[in-house]
Amino acid sequence: MNKKVEAYGVLAVNRPKIKATKSLDLTGESGKQIVKSETKLALRTHRKTLSKLAHM
């Protein structure tokens, strides 16, 4: 990536890695609900893409 950026005359800068500070517990009924709602959101957001992949 650095060479691609530098080809346009922009100096590449090393960014620090950001580590997750919180952990998400997906066990139990509340975890099941989180997974279910996120799955519904992903299916709704990417409906056309998933449909095209299914018909390949």
What pLDDT score does 1 carry?
61
Backbone phi, then psi, for 49, in 5-degree steps? -65, -45
- Whether 35 and 26 have beta carbons less than 8 Å apart is answered as yes
CB atoms within 10 A of CB 34: 13
Q: Which residue has the higher pLDDT, 54 or 10?
A: 54
What pLDDT score does 9 carry?
86
pTM for the structure as a whole? 0.55
pLDDT in tens, 3-51: 788 888 888 888 899 998 999 899 999 999 999 999 999 999 999 999 9
